Chain A
Amino acid sequence: MLSIANLQARIDDKPILRGIDLDVKPGEVHAIMGPNGSGKSTLGYVLSGREGYEVTAGSVRFDGQDLLAMATEERARAGLFLAFQYPVEIPGVSNMEFLKASVDAVRAHRGVEPLDAVRFLRLAREKCEAVGMKTDFLKRGVNEGFSGGEKKRNEILQMMLLEPRLAILDETDSGLDIDALQVVAAGVNGLRAADRSFVIVTHYQRLLDYIVPDFVHVLAHGRIVKSGGRELALELEDKGYAWIGKEAG
């Protein structure tokens, strides 16, 4: 589904990604761990097409397409979803309006009719309850005055409505209490399917107690320096990141 080869990228002439290789097959859950500044968030931004990042080498195939040649919104419509670490507020735009516009755009790309307002409202309410929010959540401005936990729940709500092919969660667990963490995990686990994949970027292995990954990769200085199974995350929890750096030389 996603095939990254020798991906290198920089911001303002400062290299951040120095040659990433990663293959994600349909149905797999990959965790990307690593110390602060290792390039974890950058990877998510480069894949989703954020401006300001310059790709200097490498290629990325997504469902057979050249991902890097696609515009940000085209990638989103093709099924790539990024859950943000710090979701931004859009004052005055209701969550409902935003979600509907977003779902309509993705559906239009798939050649499906937009949902009528009534059906969409029913669906949105249902997902809203699933992430443990009251339905007045939909009437409020996008992330406007939301607590940290509410913002993250909103990200999961968007993911559930958009049903992406590939979801990248960028430290969605940071700053969450245990209840919210379980909501995030339930959201991901509920969407796990044979044709859907996840890349979970996290600093701590705590989230991986709830979302069990198939593979764990350690990112350091812009490269994947170690890959393994679930046990690698536990080992990292135990020993920290310092030893990886040494081992990788």
Chain B
Amino acid sequence: MSEHIESLLKQDYAAGFVTAVESETLPPGLDENVVRLISAKKGEPEWLTEWRLEAYRGWRQMAEPTWAHVHFPPVDFAAVSYYSAPKSMADGPKSLDEVDPELLRTYEKLGIPLHERAKLAGVAVDAVFDSVSVVTTFKEKLHEAGVVFCPISEAVHTHPELVRKYLGSVVPRRDNFYAALNSAVFSDGSFVYIPPGVRCPMELSTYFRINEAKTGQFERTLIIADEGSHVSYLEGCTAPMRDENQLHAAVVELVALKGARIKYSTVQNWYPGDRDGKGGIYNFVTKRGLCHDHASISWTQVETGSAITWKYPSVVLRGDHSVGEFYSVALTNNLQQADTGTKMIHLGRNTRSTIISKGISAGRSSNAYRGLVRISPRAEGARNYTQCDSLLIGDRCGAHTFPYIESRNASATVEHEATTSKVSEDQLFLCRQRGLDAEKAVSMIVNGFCREVFKELPMEFAVEAGKLLEVSLEGSVG
């Protein structure tokens, strides 16, 4: 079988093209002047400039985390450019007609039509190209419902009180090395506010695209679901194929006020590097949500891209009876490395959390699940269920599980189950004997393995995720 499986995971990265647009890119390197310049470019208020500088000063005193099960040469932070924007965006387009057609074509190629006539039905999209938001669709319709969905750089001006109150409230500026860096130089990202009692009338989606070479992407997303409201949000990501590694250090903060529900889904397909591990995105991301009483936050992620993934979407269950969920599929192939998982911090009474993690390793990749379940002394009756499954394809890859459980309340229930299995020769033979080719067989087996997570994705994205797995697995079987 190994000869089989070896050749199925070899395939081209379909989103790997480069768009020829003229960009305005800051020279590499970071100091206080660069931070001020980024802030000035966005015409930010004084408080935000200071906020960034404070983060920058914190970052300078911090060291990169080294505890993750990943190995890579040190990143030269002085060689990264911290801001890049297409020149045509300099004055900000007032409508779609003013957006550079080359940019719109980029998104069409990626299957994300932004034009009115071809918009994705029922999904509002915010498209972020390198450091800036290109366009946000369905603004009017959302406006009618009172929903705010816009680039965060715009929200700073239109909803300064909300941004000021919540920015950094879930992920503090000095939370960790990459979060501090992001806080200093974040460029753009999405801002969402759902008013009390409103069920957002459509899926919200942000599509992130890195285009420029030697540029880091530092987007910042802030979602606030006011009391009793409801929102489902999806993000997707791609980047061109380049030989050098590119840095992506994002921060996502979710605030679910009393009784609110936030469902956040990610399909991450950053360029993973080539078969020999050359190039690819370093995806160092901090995602965290805060639940008030009776609120719930659900993270669903399908991670197939990036050379290195360092990512732990977490939930702080501060309110009583709040619920946190984490559903994850992480696939690594060739020389990809992933260290991903979640943290569920139970502070409130009768809080509940569920963790379902599916790791798939192929090629010579390394895939680690790292999770923390913490039950505080006050969290009477807290419950957690964790299930961690690993699937190995071939015999040169690795799967690792690092679960941490800290329970300080005797009434809490914490369950942990873990399995490791291989795509077996028997399974492949059964499928092929029934007429399926080896690639179809492996993708079917892997999809079956991921089923519990896929069913949490919005319908149309579940289909996409299945296809993405199929593509990412090509070449893993021969």
- Chain A interface residues toward B at CB < 8 A: 48-52, 71-73, 76-77, 81-82, 84, 86-93, 97-98, 101-102, 105-106, 109, 141-142, 158, 162
Contact = CB atoms under 8 A, between A and B. Distances in A.
A52 to B, nearest CB: 7
B295 interface: no
The 8 nearest A-B residue pairs measured at CB? A92-B448, A93-B448, A105-B435, A102-B434, A92-B451, A88-B426, A72-B432, A76-B435
Contacts of B434: 76, 98, 101-102, 105, 158, 162
Given A52-B425, A72-B429, A84-B430, A92 B437 contact: no
A101 B436 contact: yes
B430 A72 contact: no
A165 to B, nearest CB: 13
26 contacts: A50-B429, A50-B433, A51-B4, A51-B425, A72-B429, A72-B433, A73-B432, A73-B435, A84-B430, A88-B424, A88-B430, A90-B430, A90-B444, A90-B445, A92-B447, A92-B451, A93-B448, A93-B451, A98-B434, A101-B444, A102-B431, A105-B435, A105-B437, A105-B440, A109-B435, A162-B435
B385 interface: no
A102 B433 CA distance: 9
Contacts of B437: 73, 105
Contacts of A105: 434-437, 440
B156 interface: no
B45 to A, nearest CB: 51
Contacts of A89: 427
Contacts of A48: 433
A81 B440 CA distance: 19
A81 to B, nearest CB: 8
A65 to B, nearest CB: 16
B433 A92 contact: no
Contacts of B435: 73, 76-77, 102, 105-106, 109, 162
Contact of A51 (B1, B427, B449): B1
Contacts of B181: none
Interface in B357-384: none
Report which residue of B432, B437, B445 has the largest number of chain A beta carbons within 10 angstroms of its beta carbon. Answer: B432
B450 interface: yes
Contacts of A77: 435
B452 interface: yes
A54 B391 CA distance: 29
Main SS of the interface on chain A? mixed
A101 to B, nearest CB: 6
Contacts, number: 78
B292 to A, nearest CB: 35
B35 to A, nearest CB: 48
A142 B408 CA distance: 42
A48 B429 CA distance: 9
Contacts of A90: 427, 430-431, 444-445, 448
Contacts of B430: 84, 87-88, 90
Interface residues of B, number: 25
Nearest to A86: B426
Contacts of B438: 73
Nearest to B426: A88
A167 to B, nearest CB: 11
Contact of A91 (B426, B431, B449): B449
Report which residue of B426, B440, B445, B448 has the largest number of chain A beta carbons within 10 angstroms of its beta carbon. Answer: B448
A3 B10 CA distance: 38
Interface string B429-470: 111111111101000110111111000000000000000000
A93 B440 CA distance: 12
Contacts of A76: 432-435
Contacts of A98: 431, 434, 444
Given A76-B433, A102-B434, 20 more contacts: A50-B429, A50-B433, A51-B425, A73-B438, A76-B434, A82-B433, A84-B430, A86-B426, A88-B426, A88-B427, A88-B430, A90-B444, A90-B448, A93-B445, A97-B444, A101-B444, A105-B434, A105-B437, A106-B435, A141-B448
B476 to A, nearest CB: 16
Nearest to A143: B430
A76 B432 CA distance: 7
B296 to A, nearest CB: 25
A242 B426 CA distance: 32
Contacts of B1: 51
Nearest to B423: A90
A86 B429 CA distance: 12
A81 B432 CA distance: 11
Interface in B400-441: 424-427, 429-438, 440
Nearest to A101: B436
A77 B437 CA distance: 10
A89 B423 CA distance: 11
B176 to A, nearest CB: 35
A142 B444 CA distance: 11
A96 to B, nearest CB: 12
B450 to A, nearest CB: 7
B395 to A, nearest CB: 15
A196 B385 CA distance: 52
Contact of B436 (A51, A73, A86, A158): A73
